[in-house]
Chains A and B, each alone.
Chain A
Amino acid sequence: MKNWGFTIPKANQINFNNNSLELYNKVIEREPSLLGCIFCGSCTATCSTGSFTYFSLRNINISLQRGETNHLKEIISKCMLCGKCQLVCPRNVNTRNVLLSLMDILNNN
């Protein structure tokens, strides 16, 4: 068929009905304190990596909760595990274990 150059772009919409929360559920099973996140952004504000890249733990948690996880493996490799995010978290989320668990699940699947 002749290619006319037209495509249907992928919608920039989170389709909650089709997205799988499998990865998120695995992470909160290992680190339930993540459930208490209130998306304040303290972790992102203090993050050394976040100052130079688009790494944001708050964004990672949102992506996990919405099942939008394709980009996570690449982005999570930027974390240096310094743990500053854990020091500032007002809900005392064990952010380091969240990140370690996520790395483990993504790298061993």
Chain B
Amino acid sequence: MNELFKGKKALIVGGGIAGLEVANQLAETGVTVHLIEKTNVIGGHVSQWYQVFPDRDLADNIVNNLKNKTKSKVNFHFSTFITKSEKNKNDYIVELSDGESIVADTIILATGFDVFNAAIKEEYGYSIYHNVITSVELEKKLKNKSKILTTTSKEPENIAFIHCVGSRDEKVNHRYCSKVCCATAVKQAIELSEIFPNAQIFCFYMDLRMFDRYFEELYYEAQIKHKIKFIRGRLSEVAENQDETLVLKTEDTLSGKPLKLTIDMLVLMVGMEAPRDNEHIIKTLNLEKSTDSFLRNKDEHLNKNISNQEGIFLAGTCTGPKTISETIADARSAATEVMKYLNKQ
């Protein structure tokens, strides 16, 4: 192993893919890495996903790869959070909830995101009507290979995906786009079309943001091969029939007419939001939030991973929504910033 930074110590907060990748990169250069994770599992949200867009690789492959790279090189602290932090010259003296105290040269935050609580958009009927589920719940069903049935135990014949639930919506204080939901919806629509080849599947979108490499191909495959119907219009409200089917009301904005559609199952594409427990860490480490409630970085171009505190760096979705490949790239860029900083110490 490289011993360039032997004797240097880094504390990483968050054991999702961003935290693991930073840990992996730093440990490679001889830094002693401590990683604290608030839950008792590693891999964060990605460990709950089934296949990832655009290539439909298994999410488990990504997590296991990072797990194997880090397991013998990183000191993991599970079910742990920071209780206190003090700066002494260039050192951070951090107390952890497990009683341990760590003196670190640098702290890297990889605290990730929370999934938007769909029940807040009451008009979509989540937790009120039967047969309204979130994209996260569907992903878990796909991962567990559990049978997907309506609450009346029927195979769904008409399924609708609603994009932008909790994103691009001032009413829930989230003006930003969550970036990953469009591609996830198209991916999940394809997966459901493979399970139910005779089902009619609809995607209701405001804009389809297929921005990254191979995303457009995924969209094209959904149209041509799976005959997924894309309707431009934001769902305004849902009502439930006696038989537990759902009636959607939207505007078909391309024909300029209101549209009514009865379906068996509704999937809400929930977006990302800043984690609620970030408040605690923001206070403890004197960090700043941006207008979208995610952590503030110095700028969006050349200093994406630099926080307002010297020696504290930011990696992954703690600075806003990112895809998995963007998160990994961001984690590597954070690790580079950390190495530059450690080199100067």
Contact = CB atoms under 8 A, between A and B. Distances in A.
B257 A13 contact: yes
B257 A12 contact: yes
Interface stretch (B7-15, B45-53, B223-231): B223-231
A87 interface: no
Contact of A12 (B227, B229, B232, B258): B258
A91 B210 CA distance: 15
B220 A39 contact: no
A65 interface: yes
Contacts of A17: 260-262
Contacts of B262: 16-17
A24 to B, nearest CB: 10
B254 A58 contact: yes
B255 A63 contact: yes
Contacts of A35: 223-224, 227
Contacts of B239: none
B288 interface: no
- Give the contact-size bracket for chain A: 20 to 34
Nearest to A13: B258
Contacts of B220: 36, 91
Contact of A14 (B227, B229, B232, B260): B260
A66 B260 contact: no
A59 interface: yes
Contacts, number: 44
Nearest to A28: B227
Interface residues of B, number: 15
Interface in A48-72: 58-59, 62-63, 65-66, 68
Contacts of A16: 259-262
Interface string B239-271: 000000000000010110111111000000000
B224 A62 contact: no
A77 interface: no
Interface string B16-32: 00000000000000000
Given A14-B259, A16-B260, A66 B252 contact: yes
A63 B227 CA distance: 16
Nearest to A17: B262
Given A35-B227, A39-B232, A62 B258 contact: no
Interface in A1-19: 12-17
A51 B191 CA distance: 42
Contacts of A66: 252, 255, 259
Given A35-B223, A39-B232, A66-B255, 6 more contacts: A16-B262, A17-B262, A28-B227, A35-B227, A37-B223, A66-B252
Interface of A: 12-17, 28, 32-33, 35-37, 39, 58-59, 62-63, 65-66, 68, 91
Nearest 8 CB-CB pairs, A to B? A16-B261, A14-B259, A13-B258, A62-B255, A17-B262, A35-B224, A35-B223, A62-B254
